[in-house]
């Protein structure tokens, strides 16, 4: 029983709001210092340092930097204008623009919290000016930000690919259809609510074709970035890590010479944001790898896989049980940490029953994104509510219909492998 003490301790620390990285490391050290003393502490520390010595992990700071460069370069404003020209005339137009902007931004920022923070500052004030209730605005902003990490180059797609030892570019391509399904489900829900509450469109009539083409032309450089990254990896022109560096370079060139809003004076702030974002993510990954070392030594993933298969050898039932587990865990643990901890535990069981690892990765990531909007510890929920000063009770009331829409998409993705694997199988 004592071999499970680090796992129990980990969940207790999470519930006490101890930072994720410290919780993972402290729980691991309890095992190596007091339970399995046969392994020298120096070896554990060596593993701590060597965990960060991974070339694929270099993709993470690059893609975090992409989000920072984008915020200073005018790319987000260009995409906002395009989204407004396309659907701003619909009932609840700005709410639809919120979802559309998250979808367009996903291929560039790749971070749900970055998207939630940006839209809370740029779009949410305009929505409240146009008569949208502040809690409803906050709910849409948080729910729509769940789309960003599912569209490449989402950081969670990269991390899952490393954990599951699958192709990064295959994970990237698999993200498009689920992301657009999430966007469509949110827009349908918003349209129903907007009609009931009589929310006005952001513009009185549809934008003329000339205006739409104008904004499309301005946005094309930004929209081409994710497609260029995927095609480059698909044809072997560069690795995912090199793709991150190329994405930074492209965003910088677009900001400096196309939109001309990015200034040299912005780069100190960009580097600071990149270092802060990278350090927090990497610290969690390193802590998770040490925790994974403990679980591997005790064969906990294999035991969990065997236990799940004993419960059921039906693939459909197993996926439902895993969905329920991930949704419950996602209510209490930050999504990225949940993915890093649970993927090594659950993957062997689903592989034994013939589930495609790429398909399973999308299920896990969409689950995690829903968890980021769900109380009590959803990270996007906290980001939006803190910026917009919204009470959690009011937020929860408004977000429930949107969560239901996302759960419907999750069920469709879980039981329709063809939806997820359609684009990867084409390539």
pTM of the complete model: 0.75
pLDDT of residue 23: 83
CB 331 within 8 A of CB 377: yes
Question: For 16-23, which contacts have Cβ atoms below 8 Å and span 24 or more sequence positions?
Answer: 20/284, 20/287, 20/333, 20/334, 20/336, 20/337, 21/280, 21/283, 21/284, 21/286, 21/287, 22/287, 23/287
pLDDT band at 389; cut points 50, 70, 90: confident
- Max mean pLDDT among 66-75, 149-158, 349-358, 405-414 falls in 405-414
Lowest mean pLDDT among 102-116, 138-152, 266-280, 373-387: 102-116
What single-letter DSSP state applies at residue 39? Answer: S
Give CA 379 to chain center in angstroms. 11
Average pLDDT of the chain, as a whole number: 82
pLDDT tens digit string along 166-189? 888 889 889 999 999 999 999 999
Expressed in angstroms, the distance from the first to the final Cα of the chain is 47
- The residue with tokens 């759960």 is 407
pLDDT of residue 75: 77
Using alpha carbons, list the distances in angstroms from residue 9 to 23, 286, 319. Answer: 8, 18, 27
pLDDT tens digit string along 254-275? 888 888 888 889 999 989 888 8
CB 250 within 8 A of CB 66: no
pLDDT of residue 400: 93
- 316: how many CB neighbours lie within 10 A of its CB? 11
Phi, psi (rounded to 5 degrees) for 202: -80, -15
SS3 per residue for 133-149: CHHHHHHHHHHHHCCHH
What single-letter DSSP state applies at residue 57? Answer: G
CB 56 within 8 A of CB 158: yes
Q: Is the predicted pLDDT of residue 93 greater than 90, yes or no? A: no
Output the DSSP codes for 168-221. Answer: HHHHHHHTHHHHHHHHHHHHHHHHHHHHHHTPPPSSSSPPPHHHHHHHHHHHHH
Torsion from C-alpha of 321, 322, 325, 330, nearest 10 degrees: -150
Output the DSSP codes for 266-286. Answer: GHHHHHHHHHHHHHHHHHHHH
3-state secondary structure at position 16: coil
What single-letter DSSP state applies at residue 150? Answer: G
pLDDT tens digit string along 97-122? 888 878 876 656 556 766 777 777 77
pLDDT of residue 139: 93
């Amino acid at each position: 029983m004592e071999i499970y003490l680090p796992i129990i301790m980990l969940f207790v620390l999470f519930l006490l709001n101890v930072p994720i990285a410290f919780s993972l490391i402290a729980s691991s050290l309890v095992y190596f210092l007091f339970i399995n003393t046969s392994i020298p502490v120096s070896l554990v520390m060596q593993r701590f340092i060597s965990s960060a010595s991974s070339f694929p992990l270099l993709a993470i700071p690059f893609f975090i930097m992409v989000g920072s460069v984008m915020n200073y370069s005018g790319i987000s404003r260009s995409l906002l204008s395009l989204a407004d020209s396309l659907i701003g005339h619909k009932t609840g137009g700005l709410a639809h623009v919120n979802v559309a902007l998250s979808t367009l931004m996903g291929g560039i920022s790749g971070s749900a919290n970055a998207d939630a923070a940006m839209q809370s500052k740029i779009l949410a004030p305009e929505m409240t000016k146009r008569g949208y209730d502040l809690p409803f605005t906050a709910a849409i902003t948080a729910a729509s930000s769940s789309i960003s990490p599912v569209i490449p180059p989402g950081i969670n797609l990269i991390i899952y690919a490393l954990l599951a030892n699958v192709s990064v570019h295959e994970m990237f391509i698999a993200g498009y259809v689920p992301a657009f399904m999430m966007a469509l489900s949110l827009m349908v829900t918003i349209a129903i609510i907007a009609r009931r509450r009589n929310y006005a469109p952001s513009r009185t009539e549809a934008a003329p074709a000339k205006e739409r083409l104008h904004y499309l032309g301005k946005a094309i450089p930004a929209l081409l970035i994710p497609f260029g990254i995927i095609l480059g990896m698909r044809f072997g022109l560069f690795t995912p890590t090199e793709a991150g560096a190329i994405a930074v370079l492209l965003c910088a060139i677009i900001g400096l010479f196309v939109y001309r809003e990015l200034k040299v004076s912005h780069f100190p702030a960009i580097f600071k944001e990149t270092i802060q974002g990278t350090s927090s993510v990497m610290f969690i990954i390193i802590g998770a790898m040490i925790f994974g070392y403990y679980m591997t030594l005790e064969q906990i993933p294999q035991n969990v896989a065997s236990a799940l298969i004993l419960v059921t050898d039906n693939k459909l039932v197993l996926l439902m049980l895993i969905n329920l587990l991930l949704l419950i865990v996602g209510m209490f643990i930050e999504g990225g940490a949940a993915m890093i901890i649970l993927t090594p535990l659950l993957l062997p069981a689903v592989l034994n029953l013939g589930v495609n690892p790429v398909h399973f990765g999308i299920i896990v990531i969409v689950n995690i994104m829903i968890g980021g909007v769900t109380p009590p510890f959803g990270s996007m929920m906290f980001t939006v509510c803190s910026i917009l000063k919204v009470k959690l009770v009011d937020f929860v009331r408004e977000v429930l219909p949107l969560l239901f829409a996302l759960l419907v998409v999750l069920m469709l993705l879980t039981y329709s492998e063809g939806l997820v694997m359609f684009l990867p199988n084409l390539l």
